[in-house]
A and B are shown apart, each in its own frame.
Chain A
Amino acid sequence: MADALLRIEALSKRFGGVVASDEITLAVPKGELHAIIGPNGAGKTTLIGQLAGELRPDSGHIYFANLDITALPAWRRSQLGLARSFQITSLFQDFSVADNVALAVQAHAGHSFHFWRDARSEPSLRDPARAVLARLSLADRADVLVSRLSHGEHRQLELAVALAPRPRLLLLDEPMAGIGPEESARMVETLRELKGELTILLIEHDMEAVFALADRITVLVYGRIIASGTPAAIRADEKVREAYLGEQERQHG
């Protein structure tokens, strides 16, 4: 697995007495769409936080393209080609839609110690931003303030900001959280298109979407991996049925 784009080795993180990540070891090869599922409180977002550089693990290592990034700050990981989206939309609310995406482009277009030229009229920033917006059907909303968008549009833009710098690995934290079935279907379509282009680590509660999209699925329960394999293998796994699907039944029951 030395050629894996993302390699996680024995990653552990505890908050007081709670073990949020328990010796997680996982490898995601280039080009794969890998989904992580698990009941609420399984430590999925904590894992994303450690991968993105917002949380420091207690022990273990994270390798990105065979480079140990365990101690790197978030912005450096982003510069290496690791992008993330947020479960709770995290945008620049008082900026326009185009400004949001252009800023993400700018972050990867050299340093920003340019003090004079009007950044909003630089084609090298605006053109790539417009292209990403067009792809996520936000082109006609480019000049609207983010605070005026609908929730579904926020989710689209959340993804657009992550995609704009053309990352190699995309960490998606519940991209379909809180959106309707129609918008969900569109998001699945978008992710299906992206699948061939970059490596994706997807956290999602929408099982239909997960099983439709994922090449492999890892199941996390109480911070520990209980199963990892193809969608078919996961569907057939006894432990998964017991721990995860049982929980769902109880929730619905």
Chain B
Amino acid sequence: MTSRLNIRNCVIVVLLLALALVPVYAALSGNTFPMSFSAGVIIQAMAAVSLNLIMGFGGMVSFGHAAYLGIGGYVVGILAKEGVGSGLVQWPLALVLSGLFALSVGALSLRTRGIYFIMITLAFTQMLYYVANALDRYGGDDGLTIQRRSEFGLVDLSSRTIFYYLCLALLLVTVYVVWRLVNSRFGLVIQGARSNDRRMNAIGFPTFHYKLVCFVIAGVICGLSGVLLANHTSFISPALMHWTRSGDLIVMTVLGGMGSVFGPVFGAVAFLMLEQILPPLIRPMASLFTIATGIDVSRAPEYWQILLGPLFLLVVLFARGGIDGVLAGMRRG
């Protein structure tokens, strides 16, 4: 048994404490940006954790996971616009539709593997993306502003602080549920199918059924993330489901580490912080470049992924376990 008091677990505790204290800081300083930012981190971490369930543990590389962000978001947005503000209607409906969508995508795509699987998951999400673009009543490609957050009677989500802690609690529940799941009989079947699907069939597992159920579970969790995201930003648009969004989720998951349940949380934190940190870093570099060469690159900071790309490459090449793997490999002292 490895010691529980290792560096990784310490970092997890510190990170969670920091996330829990953000609203306190916001209240004291009067600056609401950090709270809004970390709510976004928490919500997208949840999506990445769900992607990791199928991609990291199940070996099913879905390139369309943003579909569920969109389904969750659009159910909240459309119902709100149609006057159904109750979360007791919005949330269950969003989860059920996410599950049904995952069921149909999975039923088709899980019959294929490799690049075909990736392409089918992408194709389904692109379909939803264009459907959302065509929904003129709900803003088309401009998107739709949501007037009010989901209503839950006594629990008032319009309070930023309550909403923030709800998101954090739901992320913790998600991580715990996924952790139980991957170590259960079901989880071992999913991991066995990733490791050697042929042998799984030979020893008596109809792996297709298990992978399909896993795919649906991941879809429902990501649907919840979509519900939270729409409530957080009070805005939905087809961009929620753009393929780059699915790509971002993959990058977060790989960056954080696919080998562990918590890894994608690290990945989401790192990815979204880099999105904030890198542009200002690029700005002086771009200015120097312009002075030296005379070529105008003033828009370079918008393309912060220029630096993310090499970083991602380094992780893939030298740190397969991502941030989580690096932390787990460190010895104390």
Contacts and interface: CB of A to CB of B under 8 A. Distances in A.
Interface stretch (B25-33, B127-135, B178-186, B249-257): B178-186
Contacts of B200: 75, 103, 107
Contact of A78 (B187, B196, B203): B203
Given A115-B180, A119-B187, A91 B196 contact: yes
Contacts of A54: 198, 201-202
A107 B186 contact: no
Interface in A113-157: 113-120, 122, 125
A103 B206 contact: no
Given A106-B185, A115-B180, A90 B205 contact: no
A54 B201 CA distance: 9
Given A90-B196, A95-B195, A112-B210, A119 B202 contact: no
Contacts of A104: 203-204
B210 to A, nearest CB: 7
Contacts of A165: 203-204
A90 B185 contact: no
Contacts of B187: 115, 119
Contacts of B205: 75, 107, 112
B185 A112 contact: yes
B184 A118 contact: yes
A52 B199 CA distance: 11
A59 interface: no
| Residue among B181, B189, B191, B199 with the highest chain A CB neighbour number at 10 A | B199
Given A91-B196, A161-B199, A107 B188 contact: no
B188 A106 contact: yes
Interface string B190-221: 01100110111111111100100100000000
Contacts of B204: 75, 78-79, 104, 107-108, 165
A50 to B, nearest CB: 14
Contact of B181 (A74, A83, A108, A115): A115
Contacts of A113: 185-186, 210, 213
Interface residues of A, number: 39
A123 to B, nearest CB: 14
A66 interface: no
Contacts of B198: 54, 90
Given A75-B206, A112-B189, A90 B199 contact: yes
A221 B179 CA distance: 53
A92 B206 CA distance: 16
Nearest to A94: B195
Contacts of B181: 115-116
Given A52-B202, A78-B202, A119 B184 contact: yes
A93 B185 contact: no
A116 B202 contact: no
A212 B205 CA distance: 35
Contacts of A95: 191-192, 195
A103 B192 contact: yes
Contacts of B191: 95
Given A73-B201, A91-B196, A93-B195, A119 B188 contact: yes
16 contacts: A52-B202, A54-B198, A75-B206, A78-B201, A84-B202, A91-B196, A91-B199, A99-B188, A103-B200, A104-B204, A107-B205, A112-B188, A113-B185, A113-B210, A117-B184, A122-B185
Interface of B: 180-181, 183-189, 191-192, 195-196, 198-207, 210, 213
Interface of A: 52-54, 73-76, 78-79, 83-84, 86, 90-95, 99, 103-104, 106-108, 112-120, 122, 125, 161-162, 164-165
